[in-house]
Amino acid sequence: MQLLYPLFALAGLLIGVPILIHLFHFRRYKRVQFTNVRFLKEIKEETDARTKLKNLLTLLARCLAVLALVFAFAQPFWKGDNIDLKANRWVSIYVDNSFSMLALSEEVPLIELAKKRATDIVKSYKVSDRFQILTNDLGLGQQRMVDQETALRLIEDIKIRPNVQPLQKIIEKQGALLNSIQNDAKQVYLISDFQQNMVEGTLAADRLDAEVNIIPLNSIEQNNVSIDTAYFESAIPLAGQTSRLVVKVSNQGRQAVEGLQISLEAEGQIRPVGTLYIDANSQKQDTIGFILQKVGWHDIKLTIADHPIQFDDQYLISVEVPEKINTLIIHQNTPNKYVESALEASGLFDVKENSSQQIDYNGFGKYKLIVLEDLDNVSSGLVAELSKYVQNGGNVVIFPGKNADLNAYNSMWSSLSTGSLSNRENQKREVNSINTEEYVFKEVFEGKAGNFRYPSTQYNYPIKRGAQGEEWIMKYKDGSTFIAKYKRGNGNLYLCASPLDTESSDLVQNASIFAPMMYRMALSSLEKVKYAYIIGQDEQVQAKADNSQSEVSYTIKGKTEFIPQHTRQGNNLMLGLQGQIKEAGYYYLTDKDSTKIASFAFNNSRQESQMKFANKSAIENYFTHYPIKVLDQKETANFVAQLDQKNKGSMIWRYLLMAALIFLGLETFIIRFWKK
């Protein structure tokens, strides 16, 4: 046993007060005149003995009462956990403030219960102790120790945030601060619902030099339905045409959900688009068809009605609807009239033609697709510009000329590390295979691609295969490649084994294949275009660069406004967000004239949608290399008492105070009711 305030023990000298009272009060005698005391002799002897016993018991009760009071103020305790309670302690407390903490406990949301637990922890320490209050925000202000009053204020200010941090990162942040402190009295508290994905694997042994206390919070069982993602089947929807939006919805609960309503908001109108039935712990995919009437940027919102967890009930996407797909055809002398008519007939393309002798290289950036149409020769300048164009995200389709100079083309194959062409073979060949798993023809045809006429060629240049990243688009009957695709940089190069003129090939006359092929080729670099971003995960967004100005200042506006970092990568603008976006919503990139350049949709992470939580065994396994204490749900009922015992030892002053009252009561009883 130790004394928290040992100087109070000196007050034990006050025990002399009742002793002095006893000596000078109970030993005073009164003289009583009697004529004859012979008859009182026996009574006197008996009375003297009882009086002495009464006085001694009174003295004992008073002494014990004084000693009990003195030691109560000295606060004796039984030392616990081998901690020096007199030394200042350094305490790091993590409070999980992610969206899953909105779930309900028996009385309040988990986030409120977590804040109460953190407050109890801070109050269980001395005023002189120091605290780190850490949340998923990981702000600079959380990388320091503060006093007790400040810690309590920081806990009160904790709000739910969309940020989700892996537990290992949290512990590394705690370790970075605590490990630098040369003191053994260091403790860590982790307060969370501990979703399963937080404690996967095992924490490395050198992350933290402190005692670890785990406080899991359990919510009442409840369902949760979330919109996980949404994307267009086509890379870019077009104005006036039906767009098909794929939506994926998950039921995270143990009960099936029936009649779940989905609504869509686009171009200022909200309309219901259907209802879903989703089995327990399963995902459902649905396709929504609708028409966007206007060109330009569109903000689209999908919504479901689900309670009580609602942060994942909306999914936002932004998409730009182009007026036309700009296409450049570079021909040798006379353009192929079928090519232009086939592209323009679809209503999707804005076609410009240039002779190979009159090319504006500076304008390449505005085209989605550049077609080399039957060129016998390619200049070194064209090769260099096309290589740069592809690397920056452009798409190039090459149809060699009837008398192609393969040596001239070799510089292009070498520059882009693609397959090359062999000497021309003068024999008729027929195509019989289309790769419907590759983006160009994926989901283009209903059913199998076999219910129409395949193209044929009168002669061809066999494509040498084996280049890295090569994919075939169409094949001849003998298995050789008719059209090949090469992914290079951010763009793609497509190489055809045959010229495009009608004497060489009937491909251009086969509208059911040629038109959708060119459309998909034009958009293939946008195959994985991002319609939506995730807060906390996507810290860089991409927009189209303004090539007309060398220096442009940009601002991102939305629920917050800031100037992003930006760098140019060819025709693209890469924007760094520096963690500025903290709320789901639409954010707009503007120039110095406040003209909208692009729209970005940011959603909350769906990681918090999962209603699966780690049990005590999983948590202990994660902290295999650390001595930890896990408070389960039953133990948290006596949370404050446990903290007092842990951080102050087994305090016995309350019992001493009760003993003092008992001894004083005993003294009163003896004096009042003891008959002499």
Predicted model pTM: 0.69
Identify the weakest region by mean pLDDT among 205-219, 471-485, 583-597: 205-219
Fold of 90-221+611-648: Rossmann fold (3.40.50)
Say how far apart CA 664 and CA 335 lie, in whole Å. Answer: 115
- Mean pLDDT computed over 373-387: 90
pLDDT category at 240 given cuts 50, 70, 90 is confident
**Residue 30 pLDDT exceeds 90:** no
Say how many C-beta atoms besides its own lie within 10 A of residue 541's C-beta: 20
Say how far apart CA 238 and CA 222 lie, in whole Å. Answer: 41
Fold of 225-246+253-322: Immunoglobulin-like (2.60.40)
Task: Please tell me what DSSP assigns to residue 619.
Answer: H
Where in the chain is CATH 3.40.50.410?
90-221+611-648
Fold of 325-526: Rossmann fold (3.40.50)
**Residue 85 pLDDT exceeds 70:** no
Phi, psi for residue 11 in degrees, rounded to 5: -70, -5
**Residue 445 pLDDT exceeds 80:** no
Where in the chain is CATH 2.60.40.10?
225-246+253-322
User: Which of 2.60.40, 3.30.1490, 3.90.1690, 1.10.3470 would CATH assign to domain 533-603?
Assistant: 2.60.40
**Residue 28 pLDDT exceeds 80:** no
Say how far apart CA 110 and CA 497 lie, in whole Å. Answer: 64
Contact criterion met (CB below 8 Å) for 305 and 312: no
Where in the chain is CATH 3.40.50.880?
325-526
Task: Tell me the pLDDT of the chain averaged across its residues.
Answer: 83
Task: Provide the strand spans (E) within 171-268.
Answer: 186-192, 211-216, 225-232, 242-251, 257-266
HEC string for 304-336: ECCCCCCCCCEEEEEEEECCCEEEEEEECCCCC
β pairing state of 130-134 and 90-95? parallel
Complete DSSP assignment for 423-485: --B-S-EEEEEE-TTSTTTTTTSSS-TTSSPPPEESSB-PBPP--TTEEEEEEETTS-EEEEE
- Mean pLDDT computed over 228-249: 85
**Residue 521 pLDDT exceeds 90:** no
